[in-house]
Structures are given as structure tokens and as C-alpha cells.
């Protein structure tokens, strides 16, 4: 993928064997943070609904995190990546998380830092078999 030309950060997709996402979700998110050199959030992950996840993922791919009105990826590429990322998830049985209190592209917002960068944004979706972890870093 050529995502590095659009933003600093990463998109990780993991496959599990029948994980209990009700019990293990936070532990798994924090393990990924540690593997990526990010700051684990423990109980400070914010669980969001599937619609908020989809909206935030589209925004994270399409717009700059620091200059939120600045488009960094064309809509057709956003849609293509979006479908690649979420393909195969059990829509009815997913849990979604972010480090923000709400969508930073929709107005004033705040979050828990996962890095030493000026701004960072993390978004995760998981079901019993898969995990998508997207993070964006911004430094002014």
C-alpha cells in the first residue's frame, strides 16, 4: 500500500483464532501500542459505535489531522482503502475504539495521547477473528 505518502502512522490488520473481544479487547489494543512504540491507554480507550468508526476512518484517510479541512487523499482512494480495510469483519459482532472523545474532524475534541507527537489519532475495530488498527501521527 502507498499510505505513507498520505500520512505518517500505520494501518495494521491482525488475524486471531477465536479471541474473546469482550474480555481481551483493551489488552490486545495496548499490546499493539507497545509493539508499535506507542503509549498504551489501558482503561482510557473510548469505545464507539460502528457508525462513528466508519465516519472517523473516512475522515482519517481523507483529511489531515492537524489541518482538518485539508484533503490529503481523494475520495475514490478513501473508498477503495476503506473497503480493503473492513472486508471480512463480522459487522454485527464488532467492537470499535478510539483514543479521542469524538471525531476531531467535526469540531473541538480531545483525546488520550498514544505518542509524543503534537497530535495523534488511533482507531480500532475488532471481531473474534480480526483486528484493524489505524493510527495517524501529526507534528507541526
Distance in angstroms (rounded) separating the CA atoms of residues 66 and 105: 9
Nearest CA-CA partner of 113 in 33, 41, 32: 41
Can you tell me whether residue 50 is helix, strand or coil?
helix
**Residue 34 has what pLDDT?**
95
Nearest CA-CA partner of 80 in 58, 98, 63, 64: 58
Q: What is the mean pLDDT of each run of 10 residues along the chain (140 residues)?
A: 67 81 92 94 95 93 86 90 89 92 86 90 92 86
Distance in angstroms (rounded) separating the CA atoms of residues 113 and 121: 8
**Residue 47 has what pLDDT?**
96
pTM: 0.90
CATH of the domain at 9: 3.40.1000
54 lies in which domain range?
3-138
Domains of the chain: total: 1
Amino acid at each position: 500500500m502507498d499510505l505513507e505518502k498520505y500520512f505518517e502512522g500505520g494501518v495494521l490488520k491482525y488475524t486471531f483464532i477465536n479471541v474473546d473481544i469482550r474480555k481481551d479487547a483493551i489488552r490486545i489494543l495496548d499490546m499493539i501500542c507497545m509493539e508499535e512504540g506507542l503509549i498504551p491507554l489501558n482503561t482510557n480507550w473510548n469505545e464507539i459505535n460502528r457508525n462513528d468508526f466508519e465516519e472517523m476512518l473516512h475522515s482519517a484517510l481523507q483529511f489531515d489531522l492537524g489541518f482538518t479541512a485539508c484533503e490529503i487523499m481523494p475520495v475514490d482512494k478513501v473508498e477503495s482503502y476503506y473497503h480493503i480495510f473492513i472486508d471480512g469483519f463480522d459487522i454485527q459482532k464488532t467492537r470499535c475504539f478510539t483514543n479521542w472523545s469524538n471525531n476531531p474532524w467535526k469540531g473541538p475534541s480531545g483525546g488520550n495521547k498514544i505518542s509524543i507527537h503534537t497530535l495523534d489519532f488511533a482507531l480500532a475495530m475488532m471481531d473474534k477473528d480480526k483486528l484493524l488498527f489505524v493510527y495517524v501521527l501529526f507534528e507541526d
